[in-house]
Every structure is written in structure tokens, then in C-alpha cells.
Amino acid sequence: MFTSAINILNVAKAEVRTARRRARFWTIVFFLSVFSIMGYLISCSYLGYAALTSPSFGTGVPKYLLGNIDPTFFLFFQLAALFLAFDAGHLLHRNRISEVLDSKSITNFEYLAGRVFGIAGLLWLVAASNICVMQLLGLISTTINIGIADTIEWYSLFNLLVIDGPATLLISCSIVVFLSCMLRFRLLVVVVASALMFGWFFLVLNTPYSLLEIVSLSSNDTLFVSDLLPQLASLPVVAIRAATILSAIALVAIGALIWSRQNSNNQLEKYLPLGICLCVGTILYVWGSSSVVSEHTASERWREVHENHEFDHRIDLEAITGIVKIDPKKHLIADLTIGFNVNAHTTIPLTFTFNRSM
């Protein structure tokens, strides 16, 4: 196991060195950086102008930028992974990599996993570097109090870089590498992978909010922006991200099985990673998805009950008394008594319920 990890790390380092010498990598870095920084500057314009006059622009300021990130951001990084990894199968034959791997005793899985980790790591560094630049601009602005920029909320930053980013990049790179091993033709790989990525993009746009945690690659999509009680990703979302990473490993293992080599004759080494990843990943994904679906079902039942219930009487709110205790970033406790008048005489008790989706 330790030797395999060292081999994967060595392949990843070689992939990083190779990618850094390619013009396409620096072209991708340029466009991703321009896209990211332009989004931050637009949010800075909201902070300096629009948010001062309209509260609806408040969630678009730099502090909450990652908490309201658009799926297009993830799509661009997925396409970047595609154009860095789409020729994996072609390079095997053109550069006679199989012969080198045979001399180094590196298995198919180790080589493909190293490529995936290398490319995903490079793109993660690009995203992290851009966010560091944004944080630096915000820190300078807040330090000298010029009010044109702000730092990003660290909760949403943690969710993106630690929970969402690695899973997104690994599954994107593994899909491309898997397709390159299966289809061989580079143009076909680009077409199929692009179709899958754009299909996911439109699926996220058309998924109901209460089910968004299942398909969205951003856990911040379903977390409320709050200075008082900022939120980290829920356990079901963490389980789904872990299942996503295991799915990426499984795809790499399947790609290794498709790519046949003379020294790949250990059946246990072939199927053990695949079996473990599929079993554990399926369990995690089913548990996380079922938790989200159960919440969605409860919200739908709440909506149906209120749509079918008719109340023709008027309720006059007279007073709200009680205690609200706020412990910033830890607790929000409300113990309230609501006094109201109902212009109807009935022995049936009135029941007030909160919308589970809110």
C-alpha cells in the first residue's frame, strides 16, 4: 500500500511538471483567473454602490461571494479539467508510456490515479491562488478602510476549498481519464465529456431547492448566509462528497481494467480498490441522498397541507414578548410569547408551524 501511494505521488509530480510546460495549461490559468477576479470585482462594485441603496444586492458583496457562487464557476473548472486530461489515452501510445511503466513496475491504476491527482491538484491550486488574491485585496481594503472590497466569509471559503473543490475536480478528471481509456479518440472524449458536464449544469439549474444538495457540487448553495450563525456543510452533504471521491477512484480503477498491459495479472490488485470504493461509496451516497429526500418529502407534505387548508378568519397580532439570546457564531435562542386576536369563536386549537424549507 505504501509503495503504491509513493508511485501515485511520483506520477502526480511528473504530471504537474508536464502540464506546466504546456501552453494550454497557462492559457487555462489565464482565463480561469480572469473569470474569477472579474466576478470578485463585480461583487466589489455591489459593495461600493448597489448594496448601499438596495438591500437585495447585499448577498452579492465580496464577503458572501462564495456563499452564493454560480454553477458556472464549477462548469469552467470542469471544462479546464477536460482540456488538460482529454488526451490521456493518446499520450499512452504517442509517448510509449506503457514501456516506461513496465520498466518502473507501476500499475495501470497507479499511473491513472497519479494523472488524476496531478491535474486536480493543479486546478485546485489555481482556485486557491485566486481566492488568496481576493482575500488579500479585501484585507487591504478593510485595513486602510477604503470600503471598496471585503474579505470572504471563511465558512463558505472552507466549504469550497476543503469539501466541494477536491471532490468536484477529482470526479471531473476521473471521468475524462476514464473516457479517454474507453473511447481512445480524443474528439469523441471531448464531445461525450462536454455533454456530461453541460447536462449536469442544466440539471443543477432545474433541480428544486430542497433537493439541490444531491446534485449541486457547492454545499454553499443550500446554506443560509448569516453573520450570527454561519454554517458548514451538513453531514449528508459530506457523505455525498465522500461518495463522489470514492466514485472518482472507482472510475480510475475501471479505466485501469480497460487499459490492458502485460504485467497486470494480479486479479486481487485489479478488483479490490474497485469493489471497496463502489460498496462504501454507494452506502454513503444512499444515506446522504435519502436524508435529503426525507427532508424534501417533509417539506412537500407541509406545503400540501397548507395549500389544502382554508382559513377565512382574520388574525390580529397584538404583542410579541419574550427573550432573544444571541451568542454570535454559536447559538441563537428565541423564547417568545405571541399574543393575537381571532375574529372567530371555535374550540379547535390553532396550530402554527414553520416552513421546513426555510
Q: Would you state the cell numbers that stand for residue 278, as one nine-digit string?
A: 463502489
Q: Please, what is the end-to-end C-alpha distance for the chain in angstroms?
A: 47
Q: Are 163 and 237 in contact (CB under 8 A)?
A: yes
Grid cell for residue 237: 452533504
Residue 257 lies in a domain: yes
Q: Would you tell me the crossing angle of helices 2-20 and 108-144 to the nearest 10 degrees?
A: 60
Question: For residue 225, what is its C-alpha cell?
Answer: 448566509
> For residue 97, what pLDDT is reported?
59
User: Residue 348 and residue 274: Cα distance in Å, rounded?
Assistant: 59
Instruction: Residue 86: count other Cβ atoms within 10 Å of its Cβ.
Output: 22
pLDDT under 70: residue ranges of the chain: 1, 50-52, 54-59, 88-104, 225-229, 260-270, 309-314, 328-330, 343-358
Q: Are 165 and 127 a contacting pair, CB within 8 Å?
A: yes
115 assigned to some structural domain: yes
3-state secondary structure of 339: strand
Report if residue 187 sits inside a domain: yes
In a domain, 36, yes or no: yes
Does the residue 52 lie in any domain?
Answer: yes
Angstrom distance (rounded) from CA 49 to CA 61: 10
Print the domain residue range for 65: 2-304
- Count up the domains in the chain and report the number: 1
Residue with the three cell numbers 488579500: 136
**Quick one: cell of 250?**
472507482
Name the one residue in this structure whose C-alpha cell is 381571532: 342
Say if 288 falls within a structural domain: yes
Beta bridge mates, 337: 321
What is the pTM assigned to this prediction?
0.81
CB 244 within 8 A of CB 171: yes
Is there a domain that residue 145 lies in? yes
What pLDDT, in 10s, does the model give residues 273-331? Answer: 777 888 888 899 999 888 888 877 877 777 777 777 666 666 777 788 888 887 766 67
Rounded CA separation 188/70 (Å): 28
pLDDT of 29 reads 92
> Whole-angstrom Cα distance, residue 35 to residue 73?
8
Residues ≥6 apart with Cβ < 8 Å to 329: 228, 229, 230
CB 57 within 8 A of CB 50: yes
Residue carrying C-alpha cell 461600493: 48
CA angle (193, 110, 29) in 5-degree steps: 50
Q: Give the distance from CA 92 to its chain's centroid.
A: 31
In a domain, residue 198? The reply is yes
Separation between Cα atoms, residue 217 and residue 219, nearest integer Å: 6
Question: Identity (one letter) of the amino acid at 203?
Answer: L
Q: What is the pLDDT of residue 62?
A: 81
